[in-house]
Amino acid sequence: MTQLPHFQMYIDGAWTEGSAAQRMTSQNPATGADWATFACASPADVDRAIVAARRALTDAAWRDMTQTQRGKLIYRLAELIEENAAELGRLETTDSGKLLAETSTQTAYVGDYYRYYAGLADKIEGAVLPIDKPEMHVFTRREPIGVVAAIVPWNAQMFLAATKLAPALAAGCTVVLKASEIAPAPMLAFAKLIEEAGFPAGVVSIVTGDAESCAIPLTRHPDVDRIAFTGGPETARHVVRNSAENFAVTSLELGGKSPILVFEDADLEGAANGLIAGNFGASGQSCVAGSRGLVHRSIMDALIAKIAEKSAGIIVGDPMDHQSHLGPVCTGAQIDKIVATLATARSQGATIHFGGTPLAQAGNYMAPTLVECQSTDTETLKVEMFGPVMSLIPFDTEQDAIAMANDTPFGLGSGVFTENLARAHRVSARLKAGICWVNTYRAISPIAPFGGYNQSGYGREAGMDAIHDYTRTKTTWINTSDSPMANPFVMR
């Protein structure tokens, strides 16, 4: 019997099994077969990683490194990521089912995130304050916030790790990164690049495991100063409750049900491409999936015809094959949820124009699906399915479109397709979402902040301001007078 590849965790500069000897098995979503095993952390392992991170904060090897030196170290990591993008992409595709063309390209682009924050590492500045007291020199400085617990899901893990790890390291923090227990192989392999780049032991540890043994001990640990979490709202509620134990500063990126508004003057070609990218890209497994398509009634039939025409050529197949346009979803549970949600939508009167069923082959393959809804209560407009399902619903006026778009507890992404510049500005300003794309969709950059409103979370990742979220401000007062400090009990 062939032995499966095995992945260890990386704690305090060393490769290790979990102290409880627990292992999990990962399935290849393209085949449904077991393909690898990985070590899982116990609470003792989590504690060991955090103790190492706390120690590394004060060890001279990291503490006394200049910000410029830290920047060069992060630059080196960026280079290694780019050099190893093909292999990391292959691992991610095998473990998660995402297209190799996407995982390898996205991983290479992730290097730009590290390079961006490497450049900011020695530009974290304080200020001299024009204080209202005589003979006082007062200034501020930004210091590392401390130990960071970073938690990432499986669906875009190299990218989501970069938006946390890069600014944290540039700020001088230390990080314990928890990879998802679903498809963690690329994160555990990424740890080799941390080691090769030359980060001191304890500065970055990478662990994985279930909630009880790993996530809960990590997020409630008294030595954690900052939590950066990406995942679902229900898990986030537990994270917030856990943070009450340590008062860790917390940011949450939680996904949602993003609207794409298509107005009557929109370019149909561009709008159809935007809806396909927003729903079928990454097999719909994106936190910003534009899974609520709001379309002006006058163009609904024409747009559906255009989408159907384009979708007829989608090749669903092996994610390792560069000819494939759509790979499997990551887990069988997702297939079950999609099927159940579509059944409810049908019972509510929704029309399925194409797709709607899993494909009869090995693996977790779902046919790309288009649902036309007549009510905003239709299940596919409310449930985040994490699959290649596009739901469209008509609107009559701009005001109706905005109201429908904002009628959600979420607010991460949004899209507007229109040729009217005034409308683009007007509507984008009124959408309650952290990101708005106009005549495009799913574009990202290390320069642009990323985050949501409402139940899509709080805090921002990427952009210049994100690095400040990994620092604390210290204010220093210096009495410049030659005279001794005045008697505090004599008021003048």
Do 245 and 279 share a structural domain?
no
Choose among 111, 118, 122, 124: nearest CA to 159: 111
Name the pairing type of β-strands 226-230 and 147-151: parallel
Residue 320 has pLDDT above 70, yes or no: yes
Query: Looking at the 3D structure of the chain, how many domains does it have?
Result: 2
Give the integer Cα–Cα distance in Å for 325 and 283. Answer: 9
The full 3-state SS of 150-174, as one line of letters, equals: EECCCCCHHHHHHHHHHHHHHHCCE
Q: What is the pLDDT of residues 5-39, one digit of tens each?
A: 999 999 999 999 999 999 999 999 999 999 999 99
Question: From the candidates 102, 253, 379, 461, which is the catalytic residue?
Answer: 253
Catalytic, 83? Answer no
Give the integer Cα–Cα distance in Å for 278 and 414. Answer: 10
Q: Which domain holds residue 86?
A: 6-254+452-476
pLDDT, residue 1, reads 57
Say if CB 390 and CB 308 are below 8 A apart. no
Do 114 and 17 share a structural domain?
yes
Q: What residues pair up with 461 in beta bridges, in sequence order?
A: 450
Q: Note the helical H segments in 385-477.
A: 398-406, 421-430
Look up the CATH number of the domain holding residue 88: 3.40.605.10
Q: What is the pLDDT of residues 63-114, one digit of tens each?
A: 999 999 999 999 999 999 999 999 999 999 999 999 999 999 999 999 999 9
pLDDT, residue 479, reads 97
Q: What is the pLDDT of residues 134-154, one digit of tens each?
A: 999 999 999 999 999 999 999
Do 373 and 302 share a structural domain?
yes
- Flag whether 66 is in a domain: yes
Residue 258 has pLDDT above 60, yes or no: yes
pLDDT, residue 274, reads 98
- Flag whether 222 is in a domain: yes
Count of Cβ atoms closer than 10 Å to residue 301 Cβ: 12
Give the integer Cα–Cα distance in Å for 111 and 454. Answer: 30
- Flag whether 486 is in a domain: no
Q: What residues pair up with 143 in beta bridges, in sequence order?
A: 472
Do 291 and 375 share a structural domain?
yes
pLDDT, residue 420, reads 98
> How confident is the model over 429-451, as a mean pLDDT?
97
pLDDT, residue 276, reads 97
Do 461 and 406 share a structural domain?
no
Q: What is the pLDDT of residues 174-189, one digit of tens each?
A: 999 999 999 999 999 9
Do 307 and 427 share a structural domain?
yes
Residue 61 has pLDDT above 90, yes or no: yes
- Flag whether 431 is in a domain: yes
Q: What percent of the chain has pLDDT over 70?
A: 100
Residue 164 has pLDDT above 60, yes or no: yes
φ/ψ of 402, rounded to 5, equals: -65, -45
Give the integer Cα–Cα distance in Å for 99 and 156. Answer: 12
Do 236 and 214 share a structural domain?
yes
Look up the CATH number of the domain holding residue 290: 3.40.309.10
- Flag whether 208 is in a domain: yes
Do 209 and 117 share a structural domain?
yes
Residue 2 has pLDDT above 90, yes or no: no
- Flag whether 443 is in a domain: no
- Flag whether 10 is in a domain: yes
Choose among 194, 173, 174, 177: nearest CA to 230: 177
Q: Model confidence at 491, in pLDDT bands (50, 70, 90)? A: confident
Do 224 and 150 share a structural domain?
yes
Do 199 and 264 share a structural domain?
no
Mean of per-residue pLDDT scores for the chain:
96
Do 231 and 294 share a structural domain?
no
Q: What is the pLDDT of residues 104-124, one digit of tens each?
A: 999 999 999 999 999 999 999
Do 230 and 85 share a structural domain?
yes
- Flag whether 446 is in a domain: no
